[in-house]
Amino acid sequence: MNFKKLLPQLLTLVVVILVFGFFSYNAQVNMENRGITFGYGFLSQESSFDVQFSLIEYDGSHSYFRAYLVGLLNTILVSVIGIIFATIIGVIVGIARLSNNYLIERTAAIYVEFFRNIPLLLQIFFWYFAALRALPLPEKAEPMFGVFFLTIKGFFVPAFVWNNLDIFIYSVIAAIIAIFFVRIYAKKKQENQGIQTPVLLISIGLLIILPLVSFLLGGVDASIQIPVIEQLSKTSFTYKGGLKLPPELISLALALSLYTATFIAECVRAGVQGVSKGQKEAAASIGLTPNQVLKLVVMPQALRIIIPPTTNQYLNLTKNSSLAAAIAYPDLVLVFAGTALMQTGRAIEIVSITMLTYLTLSITISIFMNWYNKKIAIKEK
Amino acid sequence: MFKLVKRLTSVVAMFAVLFTFTTETMAAKKSKTLKNTQKKGFVRCGVSQGLPGFSNADAAGNWTGVDVDVCRAVAAAVLGDSSKVKFTPLSAKERFTALTSNEIDILSRNTTWTLSRDADIGLTFVGVNFYDGQGFMVRKNSGISSVNDFKAGVSACTNLGTTTELNMRDFFNSKGIKYEPVTFEKADEVVAAYDAGRCDTYTTDKSGLAAQRIKLSNPDDHMVLPETISKEPLGPVVRQGDSVWEDIVRWSLNTMIEAEEYGVTSANADMMKTSDNPAVKRLVGAEGELGAALGLDNEWSLRIIKQVGNYGESYKRNIADTGILPDRGPNQLWTKGGILYVPPAR
């Protein structure tokens, strides 16, 4: 290594260390002057506040760390829901934009231009405050299919009450593993003999049959608990039993997926348009059906263009989910960087943990998408 | 390097301590916050984002309220003009950080005095300007007339990052009721959600309930339940570590309350200079050297009373006449059956 090359690197390193050193020293001095103590011990203290919606068992007698987990899981939940729906809507709209049907193409274009040009926070407020006000009160809700109730207090759906849930889960895992092997087998068969196997049909069949067997032979039993209306006072009602999705979760997931889907749609359109016309014509000329052209020739090439920008959109969606605080969805920012921060007053500790958590979440998504991108990249032989 | 800095600072600090002992009266002028305020020419005051009666801005951006008056009193005492205040609206979540990070010098924002806030996070509470307690608001037609009528499954809207969240849990737990807390960052969002029917009850300090009720689409359809489930002494807060500034804010507030006790109002303050009562004369600066102890001139308290008025005037102007809480309740002087009682200014 020569010194000239190393010098700029070294200088940068020194500057970075000095900047960090200055800020942490400054914070230390200021905190000492104001009698603020520093430490992460508070995480094990009793939190003494409740949260309206949690995936794990939690109440105020648990620790601040548990409250942190509650917020983190809620953030992950809304991000995963958002990513799934944004991808589905995005792919459909993206392909619709390429349609030859004028009406479909225009509708998709208007949707994209409309939703991506309105600030996300406004959209969240719209779905929560404007759309929520239009929802009926629990006692006036019309049941959907007799068992779903969409009300101003949330979406009440039937819940399953399980017997031997573990056996059912094992059967699903077994089905997934079986599908995995079927795919490998199908791929080999195609490479060796050139015969295609209907993998999708077999996979769906496996996913249905194996859990079904667990019902018949494994003693698995599920009964459905339907939400029942309950009176709280003369004029206020709610539903008991069943599962409750808070309206905050619904409006946040809705706003996030509708907003992000517009960007994904553009990625998809760009990806498909990026595959040269010659490829499609060549595929058609060797006798592939239009479906096969899309599946075997266009999509594998389009995906390479689609995935990197879509990864950015997934990251954006996850970070944007922190706007939840505006509408009372108990995500990481609201529960931990909000209530917990206020109750303990430990701003530096809590904000640093929150920042690290978002960083970790983003990097995880990023690593996964990079892995997937590498997997489908052109392998030059 | 770090050790050296530490040693140097401790030496400097020791000298500083010695110096303050030798020139005690000079100490008053050593307040960094006071000096900065005088240099800037305005008091930096943190208030709420809009709570009628306490701190609320009108269409023209003029702030009014009893919390606002505390800052105005300090401005009158320190700068001679009660209008020289810069107000910063803060959410419950932001308020303490804004104070400790030096963005404001007084936090007068319906803030509850608690041990952990006072001792643990670099704040000092200087007094109480409103004795409050947490209550519940419900719809009149709900048939709920007492907190004992709440049933499991009740959803309660409230503000994020307040003592309200903790009290609510204590209360519902003691009753063994499972409830659903819905917490928003801004008060306006709480009101909107409760108004829409998202929650069965809205809980916060009773004064806040009374003030926010006006913002509902049909205020007459709602009522505040009679029970109070907590003690909420609200008062101004300053940064820890500047005892002179702390004293100035404390005694500015005390002056307003003591002025009411002795019947000194903004109208008659000048005439009171010739009063027969030495306590009154001290209050308006006609006797004694009380201002010097705070690093101020001797007319500081007179200016507070003349420009802002006494506590009773402030209460009447902001809370009673606006119809928020016409009855002063515990916020009445101790001589009239309330619990307002301040140490004597002498």
Phi-psi region of B80 (alpha: psi -120 to 50; beta: other; left: phi over 0): left
Cβ neighbours of A328 in B, within 8 Å:
157, 160, 182-184, 189, 193
pLDDT 10s digits, B85-109: 999 999 888 899 899 889 999 999 9
* Residue A36 in tokens: 């603020």
Q: Grade residue A160 by pLDDT with cuts at 50, 70 and 90.
A: confident
CA distance A154 to chain B (A): 9
- The set of residues, in sequence order, having a beta carbon less than 8 Å from that of A176 and lying 6+ positions away, is A207
Give the distance from CA A93 to its chain's centroid: 19
Which of A35-44, A137-146, B118-127, B140-149 shows the lowest per-residue confidence on average (mean pLDDT)?
A137-146
Q: Which residues of A touch B (CB under 8 A)?
A: 31, 33-37, 48-52, 60, 129, 132-133, 137, 152-153, 230, 232-236, 238, 240, 247-248, 325-328, 330, 334, 338-339, 341-343, 345-347
Is the pLDDT at B214 greater than 50? The verdict is yes
B167 within 8 A of B230, measured Cβ to Cβ: yes
Q: Grade residue B30 by pLDDT with cuts at 50, 70 and 90.
A: confident
Summarize the confidence of residues B144-169 as an average pLDDT.
88
Cβ neighbours of B93 in A, within 8 Å:
338, 341-342
Query: What local confidence, expressed as pLDDT, does residue A186 receive?
Result: 86
Q: Where are the beta strands (DSSP E) in A232-366?
A: 237-240, 243-245
Cβ neighbours of B241 in A, within 8 Å:
33-35
Cβ neighbours of B150 in A, within 8 Å:
232
* A64-136+246-376 to CATH, choices 3.30.2130.10, 1.10.8.10, 1.10.3720.10, 1.10.540.10: 1.10.3720.10
Interface size A-B, in CB pairs within 8 Å, comes to 128
In Å, what is the CA distance from A77 to each residue of A84, A122, A132, A245, B345? 11, 22, 21, 12, 59
Summarize the confidence of residues B332-342 as an average pLDDT.
94
Long-range contacts of A93-99 (CB under 8 A, 24+ apart): A93/A261, A93/A262, A93/A265, A93/A268, A94/A264, A94/A265, A94/A266, A94/A267, A94/A268, A94/A269, A94/A271, A94/A272, A95/A268, A95/A269, A95/A272, A97/A265, A97/A269, A98/A269, A98/A272, A98/A273
B280 within 8 A of B14, measured Cβ to Cβ: no
CA distance A145 to chain B (A): 24
The shortest CB-CB distance from A49 to any of B92, B117, B165 is to: B165
Cβ neighbours of A235 in B, within 8 Å:
139, 141-143
- Mutate one of A17, A61, A342 to test the B interface: name it (highest B CB count within 10 A): A342
Pairing of the two strands A243-245 and A237-240? unpaired
Query: What local confidence, expressed as pLDDT, does residue A381 receive?
Result: 62
What's the number of CA atoms in the CB half-sphere (13 Å) around residue B151? 14
CB contact under 8 A, A236 and B239: no
Same CATH fold, B134-230 and B23-131+234-321?
A: yes
A173 within 8 A of A184, measured Cβ to Cβ: no
CA distance B182 to chain A (A): 6
Summarize the confidence of residues B172-188 as an average pLDDT.
89
Is the pLDDT at B19 greater than 50? The verdict is no
CB atoms within 10 A of CB A224: 10
Residue of A nearest to B98 (CA): A347
- The set of residues, in sequence order, having a beta carbon less than 8 Å from that of B26 and lying 6+ positions away, is B20
Domain made up of B23-131+234-321: CATH architecture: 3-Layer(aba) Sandwich (3.40)
In one-letter notation, the amino acid at residue A309 is P
B120 within 8 A of B79, measured Cβ to Cβ: no
B55 within 8 A of B67, measured Cβ to Cβ: yes
Q: Grade residue B13 by pLDDT with cuts at 50, 70 and 90.
A: low
pLDDT 10s digits, A340-374: 988 888 888 999 999 999 999 999 999 998 898 88
Cβ neighbours of B13 in A, within 8 Å:
none
Is the pLDDT at B26 greater than 60? The verdict is no
Per domain, the residue ranges of chain A are: 3-36, 64-136+246-376
Query: What local confidence, expressed as pLDDT, does residue B25 receive?
Result: 45
Find out if CATH 3.50.50.60 is the number for domain B134-230: no
Cβ neighbours of A347 in B, within 8 Å:
96-97
Please choose, from the candidates A125, A354, A156, A152, the residue with its C-alpha nearest in 3D space to the C-alpha of residue A252: A125
Residue of A nearest to B143 (CA): A234
Residue of B nearest to A239 (CA): B153
Query: What local confidence, expressed as pLDDT, does residue B133 receive?
Result: 92
Residue A135, classified by CB atoms within 10 Å of its CB into exposed (0-12), middle (13-18) or buried (19+), is buried
Per domain, the residue ranges of chain B are: 23-131+234-321, 134-230
Summarize the confidence of residues A125-147 as an average pLDDT.
81
Residue of A nearest to B185 (CA): A326
Query: What local confidence, expressed as pLDDT, does residue A364 receive?
Result: 93
* Residue A148 in tokens: 């779903």
Query: What local confidence, expressed as pLDDT, does residue B81 receive?
Result: 94
pLDDT 10s digits, A46-80: 888 899 888 888 988 899 999 999 999 999 999 99
Please choose, from the candidates B55, B52, B35, B53, the residue with its C-alpha nearest in 3D space to the C-alpha of residue B43: B35
Query: What local confidence, expressed as pLDDT, does residue A121 receive?
Result: 93
CB contact under 8 A, B151 and A33: no
CB contact under 8 A, A339 and B198: no
The shortest CB-CB distance from B200 to any of A35, A232, A330 is to: A232
Summarize the confidence of residues A161-171 as an average pLDDT.
77
Residue of A nearest to B97 (CA): A347
CB contact under 8 A, B122 and A342: no
pTM score, whole prediction: 0.79
Q: Grade residue A225 by pLDDT with cuts at 50, 70 and 90.
A: confident
What is the residue-averaged pLDDT of chain A?
87
Phi and psi, residue B251, nearest 5°: -80, -20
Phi and psi, residue B157, nearest 5°: -90, 140
Place of tokens 């420009």: B307
pLDDT 10s digits, B253-305: 999 999 999 999 999 999 999 999 999 999 999 888 889 989 999 999 999 99
Query: What is the spatial distance between Cα B253 and Cα B267, in angstroms, rounded to a whole number?
Result: 19
- The set of residues, in sequence order, having a beta carbon less than 8 Å from that of B200 and lying 6+ positions away, is A232, A233, A236, B138, B142, B154, B155, B156
Is the pLDDT at B150 greater than 60? The verdict is yes
Residue A286, classified by CB atoms within 10 Å of its CB into exposed (0-12), middle (13-18) or buried (19+), is exposed
Query: What local confidence, expressed as pLDDT, does residue B8 receive?
Result: 55
What is the residue-averaged pLDDT of chain B?
88
Query: What is the spatial distance between Cα A215 and Cα A251, in angstroms, rounded to a whole number?
Result: 36
Is the pLDDT at A242 greater than 90? The verdict is no
Summarize the confidence of residues B191-202 as an average pLDDT.
91
Q: Grade residue A26 by pLDDT with cuts at 50, 70 and 90.
A: confident
Summarize the confidence of residues A149-174 as an average pLDDT.
81
* Residue A86 in tokens: 């944004």
Q: Grade residue B67 by pLDDT with cuts at 50, 70 and 90.
A: very high
Query: What local confidence, expressed as pLDDT, does residue A195 receive?
Result: 79
Q: Give the helix/strand (H/E) hosting B220.
A: none
CB contact under 8 A, B183 and A339: yes
Buried b (16+ CB within 10 A) or exposed e, B51-64: bbbbbbbeeeeebb
